[in-house]
Amino acid sequence: MRVAICPGSFDPVTYGHLDVIKRATRIFDRVYVTVLNNPTKNPLFTVEERLDFLRRATADLENTVCEYFEGLLVDYARQRKAVAMVRGLRAVSDFESEFKMASMNRNLNPDVETIFMMTSGEYAFLSSSIVREVASYGGDVSKWVPGFVAVALQARLQERNLERSRQL
């Protein structure tokens, strides 16, 4: 069985993420969609919420498993017997940081390849952070995230705005 990992923060999951995940499922027998904790980021959604979004968004993909992992991705890959990590690239600007991570991961575990997959053109500009920003100004993000994510995003942002107004 050929196993791959699609890691990310997924805060929140977007159609760009799902594009890469779906395409990976056509290449690999099993794809672990892995929410990684990035200590440099301050997530809007909890790990449990992000996992729930991913599980719902990938429910029609029988060969996906959504999980959470904290630590080195190469350790997780070893545990899952993965042969590859699939990383989405939107633009040339993504390549430099992804190349550095891939090189480090290869140095730590040369048995796991990194596969770069270009997102479809319609999602080349899309990121979780830009979705959060548009939503924070009341913009409609439903064309970039699943409907249940758009609803949860608006609710969370309203909660935060209420909390901020109470603090003032």
143 tagged catalytic: no
Q: Which two tokens stand for residue 18?
A: 């799902």
Residue 35 DSSP SS3: strand
Of the candidates 9, 17, 50, 87, the residue annotated as catalytic is 17
90 tagged catalytic: yes
Distance, in Å, from the CA atom of 115 to the CA atom of 88, rounded to the nearest integer, reads 8
Of the candidates 50, 80, 87, 128, the residue annotated as catalytic is 128
Of the candidates 23, 56, 78, 90, the residue annotated as catalytic is 90
Q: What is the dihedral of CA 119, 122, 125, 126, to 10 degrees?
A: -80
Phi, psi torsion values for 83, nearest 5 degrees: -100, -15
Task: Give catalytic residues, as residue numbers.
Answer: 17, 41, 90, 128
